[in-house]
Amino acid sequence: MRLYLLLVLASTPGIVTAQESRPKPQQRVAQIFIVGNCITPQSIILGRLPLFPGMILNRQNVLDAEKALNVLKLISLRCRVYVIDPEGDSEFKDVLIEVTEGLLTPIAVAIYEGTQRVLELVTVLGTSLREGDVAGLVDAVRQFWLPRT
C-alpha cells in the first residue's frame, strides 16, 4: 500500500505535485547501555529488564521497563530508562539505563550473589545425589568454597 501526499506549491499557482510519503517504521531497540553501576553487576539489572535488542520500542514498553526495574529498590538501586534520540529518523534506537546505587547496595548485592551461589550448589548437590555421582558432589562443594574470579 502506497500513501501519497499532495503538495501545493505556493510559488507556482495551479501546479500540484505528488510526492510519495511512507509511514514511519516502528521503532525497535538497538543497544542497551547501563551507566552508573559501580558495584551492581549488569546481570542483575538485565535480569529484570523486559527489553531486548530487536524488540518493538514504544512508550508503554519503556514504562514497563521502569516498573520492572523498580523492584531493585529493595536492594537500594534506582533505575531510569531513557531512549537515546527518540525523535531521530533511525528505526533502531539505543536505550540508556541510568543506575543510582544507594548506601546499602554493596551489602544487598553481596547477599544476592551469595544466595545465587547457594542455589547453584543445592542444584548440583541434588543432581549429584540423584545420579550417585560422588565425584561431582565433592567437586561441587570444592567449587562453592573457592573464591570466584
Distance, CA of 59 to CA of 65 (rounded, Å)? 10
> Among 3.40.50.300, 3.10.20.310, 1.40.20.10, 3.40.50.2300, what is the CATH number of 28-102?
3.10.20.310
Residue 9: its pLDDT value, please? 43
The 10s digit of each residue's pLDDT in 27-83 is: 999 999 999 988 888 888 898 899 999 999 999 999 999 999 988 887 778 899 999
Q: What values do phi and psi take at 113, rounded to 5?
A: -65, -40
Helices 134-145 and 105-131, interaxial angle, to 10°?
170
Q: Report the predicted TM-score, pTM, of the whole model to 2 decimal places.
A: 0.60
- Grid coordinates belonging to 98: 541510568
The 10s digit of each residue's pLDDT in 99-108 is: 988 877 777 7
Sequence spans of domains, the chain: 28-102, 108-145
Distance, CA of 80 to CA of 97 (rounded, Å)? 6
Distance, CA of 35 to CA of 84 (rounded, Å)? 13
Residue closest to 44 by CA, chosen among 14, 73, 64? 73
- Grid coordinates belonging to 12: 507556482
Could you tell me where the beta strands, DSSP code E, fall in 36-141?
77-83, 92-101
SS3 of 18, please?
strand
